[in-house]
Structure 1
Amino acid sequence: MDELGRFRRAAVAWAAGGAGADEAAVVARELAGGVRTIVLVEGNSDQVALAALAARHGRDLDAEGVAVVPLGGATNIGRFLDVCGPTGLGLPLAGLCDIGEERHFRRHLGRVGLGSGLSRAGLEALGFHVCVADLEDELIRALGAEGVRQVIEAQGEMRPFHTFQGQPAQRERPVEHQLRRFMGTHSGRKALYAQALVAHLDLERVPRPLDRLLSHV
């Protein structure tokens, strides 16, 4: 595993606590010198999307020392800020969250001294950006329903999607809602489509939170 990958793994283990946390803290501190910025994102699909967008701009975030670290859920942001923020490693931070989880980011950024009573603009100034309602929703709006269908077809998943659309709970819902829900139906599908949708995007229509985050780091 490369050093940035080892750093990510150690930071996650440190934030998780438990028996191996002290050892993980030592490893993370040893490797922190090779890290320029830590980007805290909710899950793997956010990590994959940001890396895919960077690659489309000819950037390799790992090579640049930008460690994109999935939190495993937005409610874990407090522990990761304790590890990575001013009272921990003290490294520059940025991040991405869903609008429903914005309050957790605001509260814990304030708690560690990175801003009090932050507005949306204040969050963005710190490098933290908010997706409405989430990253999948942002990407679907950017591509349009037909563009997303083309990506699903390219993945060979139109038949499963049509089956999903036929479920009683989905039949009367807008197609955009169906597309978003479909991406979350199987483990790994969100990450698969995060990469595929970003690869299909017109770079003039990149969702603002993703675009601004990449520009920040």
Structure 2
Amino acid sequence: MPELARTRPRDTGPAPVAVLVEGASDAGVVRLLCETRGLTESVATYQVRDMGGVTNVGHHLRALHSESDRDTGDGVRVLGLYDAPEERFVVRALRREGYDVGDARDLAGLGFVVCDRDLEDELIRALGPERVETVLSELGELERFRAFQRQPQWRGRDRVEQLRRFAGTASGRKLVLARRLAEELTPATTPAALTALVDAIESAAAPR
């Protein structure tokens, strides 16, 4: 596996960690879960980077290489969160940067964690539709969701699918809802992908 930069000397604290995530809702959830672990985001510990879409992963990897090249003492450990349907973009970008990556097992070894479908699906399934609807009610969105359910193309569909699609039907809703759902998680209900990512951040950012 190629190094992104030289290793920081042991007596200068932890090497910084860059966490690449697809969008703003992913970034908000990861930050919240890190905060619950007592992890403080900073240039000396870790930084969550919203890539603005998974197709930008190569650009962000190259930028991290460039930033590392300009710094003679600090190293950058790259972790990531991606959706299973978008795996090919992550694999392709890492290969172009010189990583020996074949499939999802190799990605996991590099600290790139996969959601089965996407983050919203993970959160909805973790909490269950009833709890998600309670959160929608608290946010003043439940009646809008009921109207969405009555639309011909969504009437009678699986409620998890309805909730997942509804989350993305208005500007800003996905970010607000994802973070609010994350606030409802407990260690027992946190999706395995998110637990694995926060574990990796905590380990990589720990003082050496």
Common fold by TM > 0.5:
yes
Aligned residues: 183
Q: CA deviation at 1:61?
A: 2.4
Matches within 5 A, 1:1-217: 36-62=16-42, 65-85=45-65, 89=68, 91-117=76-102, 119-217=103-201
Residue-by-residue CA offset, 1:162-188 (whole Å, 9 max, x unaligned): 111111111021100010011101111
Q: Please tell me the residue identity of whatever aligns with 1:158.
A: L
- TM value normalised by structure 2: 0.82
Provide Cα deviations, 1:19-70, integer angstroms capped at 9, x if missing partner: xxxxxxxxxxxxxxx9711111100000000011112223222376311111
Q: Aligned AA for 1:98? A: D
Do the aligned partners of 2:16 and 2:43 also contact (CA within 8 Å) in 1?
no
Distance 1:155 1:63, change over 3 A: farther
Distance in 2, matches of 1:116 and 1:154, equals 44
| Same amino acid, percent of matched pairs | 41
- Indicate conservation of the 8 Å contact 2:17/2:45, yes or no: yes
- The aligned counterpart of 1:18 is none
- Higher relative contact order, chain-length normalized (CA < 8 Å, sep 6+): 2
Q: Distance in 2 between matches of 1:37 and 1:138?
A: 24
- Structure 2, gaps ≥5 residues long: 1-13, 69-74, 202-208
Q: What are the ranges of 5 or more consecutive residues in structure 1 without an aligned counterpart?
A: 1-33
Counterpart contact for 2:15–2:77, Cα < 8 Å: no
The one-letter code sitting in structure 1 at the alignment partner of 2:104 is R
The DSSP-based 3-state class of the residue aligned with 1:146 is helix
Give RMSD over aligned pairs.
Answer: 1.9
Which structure dedicates a bigger proportion of its chain to helix? 1
Task: Give the conservation status (yes or no) of the 8 Å contact 1:129–1:209.
Answer: yes
Structure-1-length-normalised TM-score: 0.79
Query: Which stretch of the first structure deviates more once superposed, 199-208 or 133-142?
Result: 199-208
Q: Give the secondary structure class of the aligned counterpart of 1:38.
A: strand
- Is the Cα contact below 8 Å between 1:56 and 1:199 reproduced in 2? no
